[in-house]
Chain A
Amino acid sequence: MLKSVPHHVAHHFEDADQEFDAAKIGMWLFLAQELLFFSALFVGYGVFRFLHPEMFLHASKLLSWKMGLVNTMVLITSSFTMVLAVWMTQMNRVRESIRLLWATAGLAMVFMVIKYFEYSSKIHHGYLPGSWFSAADAYEHLHLFFTCYFLITGLHGIHVLIGVGLILWLIRKSKQGLLHKDYYTPLEMVGLYWHLVDIVWIFVFPLLYLVG
């Protein structure tokens, strides 16, 4: 059994509840900020899709919806393992929680590996926008779709990688016995972040891979 280390409330708080609630409001505000951060990319997508509807229809077919589907499943499953990891810690089953965290990080890496194969195939076909863009049979302004594709999935991918880093940090903290049923704020906060990454992908999948 892992030994639990009691948590000390920071000096400027009255009690642990106040500390926890503060952390939670702060996290939700941060997530709202993240949503707005992504929003401009989606609005840009909307504008370009409005301006070039046929091109988007065509371009979407150049992406592999199967890969997108697999990645969606992977990410949803990782969200599920994450929420279970929180639940296990709430039940004070820290060892199971650590295993679930490893599973979450593993699934995230599977997501990134699939992403890597997707990216390299797109780059190979000359779909990388800017001076690299060389798709010969391209629809007019095809690069705009791929600009949206690379920017949105790229920014999302960075968030996934940051998430993996945070999950590894949680595993370390859990092993040290710092997270247990009386104190699991970092775990819950990273969980919220990880679900947000999932939510963004839930919108990315139909908008990029399943246009028509």
Chain B
Amino acid sequence: MVHSASSSVNFFKASSGWRSWLFTLDHKRIGIMYLVSIIIAFGLGGLFAMALRLELLSPSPILFSAKEYNQLFTLHGAIMTFLFIIPSIPAALGNFLLPIMIGAKDFAFPKLNLASLHIYILGSFFLLASLFVGGVDTGWTFYTPYSVETDTSTVMTTLGVFILGFSSILTGINFIVTVHKMRVPGLTWMRLPLLIWALYSTAVIQVLATPVLAITLMLLIVERVFGVGIFDPALGGDPVLFQHFFWFYSHPAVYIMILPAMGVISEIVTTFCKKNIFGYKIMAASSISIAVIGFLVWGHHMFTSQSPLASAIFSFLTFFVSIPSGIKLFNWVATMYRGNIDLKTPFLYFLAFLFLFFIGGITGVVLGALSLNVHLHDTYFVVAHFHYVMVGGTTIAFLGGIHYWWPKITGRMYSETWARVACGLIFLGFNMVFLVQFFMGSKGMPRRYYTYLDQFQPMHAFSTSGTWVLGLGFILVVFYLIDSLLNGEQAPANPWGGLTLEWRAASPPVLENFDTPQQVTHDPYDYENGSIPHA
């Protein structure tokens, strides 16, 4: 462990060499390594998405065989879910920001933090190795009985996801303990920034749900390798049992993906409106209640396979989870009212989030209604719904967060003009890809199909053309951010006039985050009483 006497060096320059990165205990460096890994994963998953949309340009085969197409959407789903979205905001931004935002020097368990990164890398090797040993074509949900029968490498992939699960659990434990024990004096629970509340709720889900996924995938591997019959009706088992196990984790996991995004959005809206958040306490409470209620609704993924009674109960419970999400949406809008709005790039992402997450959320309520779900189950309507939440919600918030904290993380400013152009392209491209999929789905286009009826072709072609606009937007982001690293002007400590603790630190922060011990005397977004640091 490094006990640095001169802590006022910025963490990039504190030490050098690849070892100083790969074996660092500094949460900021670990966060940056996570950031790089998940951006690579996102690029890879995005390429698969572009490829499979290209195949869907026409109902007849273009580039890939049906089996290759199945492998494409499986890898797209698995990579995006397990390597990108789940670790995106918590593991990358959260790792970098959480200790700074509560004024701590580091996480409670820095070695555990490093271990979770190493486990993540190991797990992603396994997951990606399946590419070279026959791919996997089950869909990211690995449903039995097909995942037991297919000749592709289910075991390799599920082993990868099994390992990734432990990375997620360790991150969760670290987050909870750190929030409990490492806050600076004066930072009471009711003064925590909302991103911290969101990450805390996420961590609760990570700790309590992920082990069930791990054991489920272990059972799947046992079933496939030894043929013990737990998921095989011919041997007295039941395939729906797998679905129950899988969704007991994977539904709460949906909230692992969206909760941190909601936290980022709360940070952005307050800073760029220079106004206290509307209803702080209910915002914090709604994060926790989403985490808790999220455990009670997994059956809404199984409306066509479980008993009618269970479906009715799960449908009823599903409506409850929309209440806290709705509260958040209203409160963000109310925060803008009479705010001093500054239309910088992060705020544009906030507006995009508001619009897209609203559509994603409201179609979720539509799908939660049992009678409608039976009609829309496994159609493009579902695909469009969760992409509006996962991309329109989480990825947009992730991009917003990257832009918001980029000056803090790297110490450089990016080109505001190009950032606005890219934000516009991404918003436009995304809607082109997915809005039509709602229409296709409601007309009965099933998801995961290699081919389709001719009447769907215009809409499929339009959707595919949207991926090119979306892809261009993402490439643009990569370009101007790299340019900012090389040529960007030096960022001030507090470029946006934020009030939370991370804006008191230097840009980029020093080795143990702050030169002097910090103290908190006001609410996180109290622009009337708090003084803006470095203003």
Contact = CB atoms under 8 A, between A and B. Distances in A.
B181 A21 contact: yes
B104 interface: yes
A107 to B, nearest CB: 27
Interface in A109-149: 129-131, 140-141, 143-144, 147
Interface range on chain A (Cβ under 8 Å from partner):
35 or more
A34 B210 CA distance: 10
B279 to A, nearest CB: 29
Contacts of B215: 37-41
B309 interface: no
Contacts of B241: 44, 47
B240 to A, nearest CB: 10
Interface string A10-51: 111100001001100110011011101111110110011001
Contacts of B172: 29
A181 interface: no
B62 interface: no
A40 B227 CA distance: 19
A40 B245 contact: yes
Given A40-B245, A131-B226, A147-B230, A140 B236 contact: yes
A52 interface: yes
A37 B212 contact: yes
A159 B235 CA distance: 29
A147 B209 contact: no
A151 interface: yes
B236 A29 contact: no
Nearest to B166: A33
B208 A129 contact: no
B297 interface: no
A86 B112 CA distance: 25
B277 interface: no
B286 interface: no
B181 A22 contact: yes
B108 interface: yes
A38 B216 CA distance: 10
Contact of B235 (A33, A39, A43, A141): A141
A34 B207 CA distance: 9
A187 B209 CA distance: 28
Contacts of B68: none
Interface in B80-116: 104-110, 112
Contacts of B248: 40
Interface centre among B108, B229, B244 (most CB of A within 10 A): B108
A143 B228 contact: yes
Contacts of B207: 29, 32-33
B232 to A, nearest CB: 10
Nearest to B175: A29
B502 interface: no
Contacts of B107: 12
A34 B219 CA distance: 16
A18 B180 CA distance: 10
B230 A44 contact: yes
B110 A147 contact: no
A29 B211 contact: no
Contacts of A43: 244-245
A30 B210 CA distance: 12
B208 A25 contact: no
B1 interface: yes
B531 to A, nearest CB: 26
Nearest to A154: B222
Contacts of B181: 18, 21-22, 25
B514 to A, nearest CB: 12
Contacts of B110: 12
B512 A12 contact: yes
Contacts, number: 108
A140 B229 CA distance: 13
B211 A129 contact: no
A151 B210 CA distance: 19
A147 B228 contact: yes
A41 B229 CA distance: 14
A144 B1 contact: no
Nearest to A25: B177
B512 A130 contact: no
B238 interface: yes
A31 B300 CA distance: 29
A158 to B, nearest CB: 11
B226 A36 contact: no
A162 to B, nearest CB: 14
Contacts of A26: 108-109, 112, 173-174, 177
A26 B112 CA distance: 11
A10 to B, nearest CB: 7
A49 B210 CA distance: 25
Contacts of B1: 10-11
Nearest to B513: A12
Interface in B1-40: 1, 3
B510 interface: no
A30 B207 CA distance: 8
B238 A147 contact: no
B235 A29 contact: no
B214 interface: yes
Interface in A86-101: none
B181 to A, nearest CB: 4
Interface of B: 1, 3, 104-110, 112, 169, 172-174, 176-178, 180-182, 207-212, 214-216, 219, 222, 226-230, 235-238, 241, 244-245, 248, 512
Q: Which 9 A-B pairs have the closest CB atoms?
A: A141-B236, A130-B226, A37-B211, A12-B105, A22-B108, A129-B228, A12-B106, A36-B211, A22-B181
10 contacts: A18-B182, A26-B112, A29-B176, A34-B211, A37-B212, A37-B215, A44-B245, A131-B227, A144-B229, A151-B219
Interface of A: 10-13, 18, 21-22, 25-26, 29-30, 32-34, 36-41, 43-44, 47-48, 51-52, 129-131, 140-141, 143-144, 147, 151
Given A10-B1, A30-B173, 17 more contacts: A13-B108, A25-B177, A26-B173, A26-B174, A26-B177, A32-B207, A36-B208, A39-B211, A40-B219, A40-B248, A43-B245, A47-B238, A129-B226, A141-B235, A144-B235, A147-B228, A151-B222
